[in-house]
Structure 1
Amino acid sequence: MDNFTSAINTTASILNETTSRGPTPLPATPPPLGYYGETREMLWKVISPIIMVWGTVGNILIFIVLLRQKNKISSTALYLMALAVSDTIVLYTGPLRQWMKQTWNYDIRWQTDAGCKFQVYLTYASLHCSSWLLVAVTLERAVSVVFPHKVRIVSTKRTAMIAIFAIFMFTYGLNIFHLVIMGLKGYRTLQPCAPKTKEYLEFRDDIYVWIDFCVAFAAPFILLLIGNISIIVYLQKSRAKQKTMAAARGQTGASSARDTRSVSVLMVALCVIFCLTVTPASLFNAILPYKAEEINELFKTDPYKAWDDYQFLSFQHAIVNLVSYTNASFNFILYVFSGSKFRKELKAMVGCQEAGTSGVFGSKSKSPSNGKTTTTSVSATKESQYQYVAKSQPTDTTSVSAIKQSQYQSTDTKSKNDNVVHTENSAINHFDSVVENDGQAID
């Protein structure tokens, strides 16, 4: 997401070196920034703190609201809490750095070698982590909707914690090479913090730029699209099934067939927001090394035209990256407008009231002990029935055996019928909970 800085450093160094090169050499000091340069600085100074403050406050509120649930925290809530933390890291490695750089000409990457390495490392790793946490929570919701009988296996806090840990290890492990290739004294650049050798520079511009594109955008977007389509399709099917069952029971269907528009709108909105905010920056950073190289070549023949192109490229960089950073601060707005439970819990928190009785995003997985209790109850019933028959007819062994067999068959038939009804009701209740749950579907 921040390939621009290092790539354009090479262009800036050539600008500084080009004081007597070409037919129209530049003066010893660079020309004024011009319209695009001044507008770029203004955008970073004004928009960056707005995005950063709003996103920080929103992510903190999300974390606190979900944390208030205590024992009612669901697997979905765990994903969203981790996402809030990761998005906050994104805000403090991107907009904060650019705001300080444009306002006070202070760049943490330019101070120490360690600051250069870790700032670049956290920038890429946090962006990748946010994208894949969003994928994880979407796929979890999709699986719980498409395969409702697997929900107690997939949608557990243990599974969520394992998935979060795996995503963290993958994204932060993938980007650890930044700690090796980056340094204050970069190759072919007068400005600090860039790849240290020609090989490192070529790897970053020719290979890693496409790895970043796939990990941060392409792969997550495909999975998010598949997950959201699956959720919407199966929610519509479940709604139709609930109406049919309600009609068979003689009900109006108003209570059982809940409106799915809120959760469907949330799913689609999250996917659309991700696409609109992340796509421009991902595509821009993919082609940036080639554009920078064109400007480098143009400096040799027309430095003034190259300077104008450089300022315009910097302006484009500011636009697409500011848009991408809004993705890390927009989730709170979607939760408030699309999640009735989240709004209710937020009001309760502001009013210093106790947390609600149900989870905000999904309900905590119930223990399967209910099934054992039911089985034990049926066995006890059959045993008591046998004892009653034995006491009432002690002299007729044949009659006792026949009655006992009849009682067992009757009880087994009743148990099977109860299990069928219980399974049907569980499926209906699950679909109701999926529709009612205004959790997050879709970096």
Structure 2
Amino acid sequence: MSSDTLYDQRLAEFKRIVEGYLLSIVCICGLLGNALTCVILSSRFMRTSITNIYIFSLSCASSCVLIGFLLTHGIRSTFKAEVFYLYIFTRIFPIHVTCLLIQIYLTATVAVDRFILICMPFRGRKWRSPRHAVIVVICVSAFCILYCVPFWFEFTLKTENNETIITVSDFGSTEMFRLLMRKYLYFIFVFLLPLTIILICKISIIKKLYCIRQRKRQLGTSSKPNRSSNAINFLLLSIVFIFLLTQLPYFVFNVLYSWFGTKLMMNLRARQYLSINNLLSVINASSTFILYAFFDKKFRQVGQYFLFCQPLPAGFDSRTGTTRALKGTVMLSKRRSTNSIRKYSPHVKQNPADLTKEQLLPTSQVPSVV
């Protein structure tokens, strides 16, 4: 058995397990999870939140990424559908790359939005509105689409000896394309810029939350923490952490590919490393629903409402708004009433219900007894 035959067999077996079975299973589960996430976040209970607008857009982009991986890797490796792969690759590949870039920049946008909310709550308030969030998503998507236009012309189909193969086109093999799109611009716009934004925002958010917690300890405040806000903070930090954990190896491979070119793909370890990176990218695109369901109680309740027709708690619509404010007003009124009673009556006991009418009135207003 020749070394080339052994190389092909080992690679095919490895890809069948990693990119065939594992990647396909994760893709299907991720598509179901992202679909549920989009349905829940688009409901009238959740769509008013600015953060949910970004997460909804991120889930849509992640779903497109999963579909691309399933078509170009999962079906091919599982069923050895080379003819199907040849037919769709030149059409799916540029769309897939575009969706991957949109996913990367939307993750950076989520980090920036939370950075503005936590680190600049007053100066950045005017920039955080549903209208601005939609505009930001549209601008990010337009930038990624324009950036990825050259990738539509990178590969082409070529027939040799009655066999059709995928090869780099004349445009894709030019030195200008390799230097700009696969090396310098990739390193700046796909690797360095979004990664720097995400790291700076994440470190700043963690530092700010730590300072707030230390300040509360020093002041000895006994107020209960805002569990809803803390859950959203942990959720978004987890999304960013999973993104960094799963995408850093993929970025490293693409940087190596930009420098070594197609020669890198002749190495068995590099091809296996790429398959693992593809699986990690699929895990990242499938993690939003799991993280949301784990951290956000409101998301779980709305999900149970849609999936199992369970009734929502009473006053659910205004749980974080009017009801809480009204409750605070009522409690404040009760405290003022109690303070007034204590101020005007020296006979107030522990139980206000035991007071008589004369004890609740000021001394000057108590009628004299003849």
2:37 is equivalent to residue 77 of structure 1: no
**1:61 Cα deviation from its structure 2 partner:** 1.1
The letter for the 2-side match of 1:101 is R
CA offsets 1:102-122 (integer angstroms, 9 cap, x no match): 2132355522xxx44431211
Structure 1 distance, partners of 2:37, 2:180, is 37
**What amino acid is aligned across from residue 289 of structure 2 in structure 1?**
F
**Cα gap change, 1:45 to 1:145, in 2 (>3 Å):** same
Q: Structure 1 unaligned segments of length 5 or more: list them.
A: 1-24, 297-308, 365-443
Query: Is 1:130 paired with 2:103?
Result: yes
CA shift digits 1:335-387 (9 cap, x unpaired): 1222232223223333323593259xx989xxxxxxxxxxxxxxxxxxxxxxx
Q: Is 1:225 paired with 2:182?
A: no
Residue 110 of structure 1 corresponds to 86
1:121 paired to 2:81: no
Is 1:266 matched up with 2:235?
yes
Query: So what's the TM-score if we normalise by structure 2?
Result: 0.73
Aligned-residue sequence identity (percent) comes to 21
1:169, CA displacement in angstroms? 0.4
Deviation string 1:92-142 (CA, Å, 9 cap, x unpaired) is: 11233212212132355522xxx4443121111100001111111211111
Compute the TM-score of the two structures, normalised by the length of structure 1. Answer: 0.62
Instruction: Note closer, same or farther for the CA distance 1:26–1:217 as it changes in structure 2 (3 Å cut).
Output: same
Change (3 A) 1:33 1:144: same
Distance in 1, matches of 2:47 and 2:18, equals 42
Of 153, 157, 166, the residue aligned with 1:193 is: 166
Give 1:405-420 correspondences, 5 Å limit.
none
The offset of 1:51, in angstroms, is 1.4
**What RMSD over aligned residues (CA atoms) do the two structures have, in Å?**
3.4
Aligned-pair distance for 1:191? 5.5
Q: Which one scores higher on RCO, CA 8 angstroms, separation ≥ 6?
A: 1
Question: Which one-letter code corresponds to 1:48 in the other structure?
Answer: L
Per the alignment, residue 330 of structure 2 pairs with: none
Q: Distance in 2 between matches of 1:204 and 1:51?
A: 34
Question: What secondary structure is seen at the aligned counterpart in 2 of 1:69?
Answer: coil
Is 2:246 the counterpart of 1:277? yes
Q: Which amino acid aligns with 2:281?
A: S
Alignment pair present for 1:53 and 2:28: yes
Residues 36-95 of structure 1 deviation map (CA, whole Å, 9 limit, x = unaligned): 431222222211211111110111111111111358522211111111110000011123
Residue type of the partner of 2:51? Answer: T
**Structure 2 match to 1:44:** 19
Q: Which residue of 2 aligns with 1:100?
A: 75
- Which deviations, in whole Å up to 9, do the C-alpha atoms of 1:177-224 show, x marking residues without a partner? 12234322399xx75333321663544544322333443333212111
Residue 216 of structure 1 corresponds to 190
The answer as to 2:156 corresponding to 1:183 is yes
Instruction: Say if 2:317 is the partner of 1:357.
Output: yes
* Secondary structure class of the residue paired with 1:232: helix
Report the AA paired with residue 35 of structure 1. R
What is the CA–CA distance in structure 2 between the aligned matches of 1:51 and 1:74, rounded to whole Å?
29
Q: Counterpart of 2:158 in 1: which secondary structure?
A: coil
Runs of 5+ unmatched residues, structure 2:
323-370
Instruction: Give every structure 1 segment of 4 or more consecutive aligned residues whose post-TM-superposition deviation is greater than 6 Å.
Output: none
**Does 1:141 find its partner at 2:114?**
yes
How far apart are 1:170 and its partner, in Å? 0.2
